[in-house]
Amino acid sequence: MSEFQQVAELSDFGGADRISVFFDDRSVVVVRVENALYAVEDVCSHDGQPLTDGVVENCSIECPRHGARFDLATGRPLCMPAVESIRVYSAKIEGTQVLLKAP
């Protein structure tokens, strides 16, 4: 059973709504949406490239290249061209620390 591990400081967000971290041997994008924190594998299941710079809207992230959208809470694809889910991580903030747990 995996445990939560610190991956970043809250201050790493700066003014941005997301940070990229390397966790569980994978690239992960951690996104703040209002008061909630989400973390998904930073790789689009359609073209295998990063989602980092994608638009975040309605609790989903859009692939900046072909427009696939993924639900940040479940990792499920919401529209074509993606048909496969992406990995989702449990994320939380404790004090000033950002913590993730592998699925």
Partner 1 sequence: MASAVASTPGPVSVAAAGFDEHAFLTHLATRDEPAWLTERRRAAFDEYQRLLRTPLAQEEWKRVDVRGLQPGKFSVSPSGDAPQQIQTLLENRTEFAGAVSHVDGRRVESRLAASLAARGVLFGSLEEVAKASGELLRSRLFSVVDPRSDRFAAWHAAFLTGGTVLYVPRNVIVDEPLYSLIGLDRAGAADMSHTLIVLEEGAQATLLEETASTRPDTPGLHVGSVELIVGPGARLRYVQLQNWNQQTWHLAHQAGRVERDGSLQWTVAGIGARLAHIHQDVILAGPGASGEVNGATFATDRQVLSYYTQQTHQAPHTHSDLLYKDVLRDEARVIWRGMIRVEPGAQKTDGYQRNDSLLLSPDCRADAIPGLEIEADDVRCTHGATAGRVDADQVFYLMCRGISRYEAMHMIVEGFFHGIYDRIAVEAVRQTLSLAVERKLGIGT
Q: Which residues bind to partner 1, rule: CB under 8 A?
A: 5-9, 12-14, 16, 18-27, 43, 47-50, 52-53, 100
Residue pointed to by tokens 């994008």 = 29
Phi, psi of 48 (to 5 degrees): 75, 15
Between 21 and 88, CB nearer to partner 1? 21
What's the closest the beta carbon of residue 70 comes to partner 1, in angstroms? 17
Neighbours of 2 (CB within 10 A): 11
Between 56 and 78, CB nearer to partner 1? 56
Between 50 and 81, CB nearer to partner 1? 50
Residue 74 vs residues 12, 13, 61, 77, 96: alpha-carbon distances, Å: 24, 22, 11, 9, 25
What's the closest the beta carbon of residue 80 comes to partner 1, in angstroms? 18
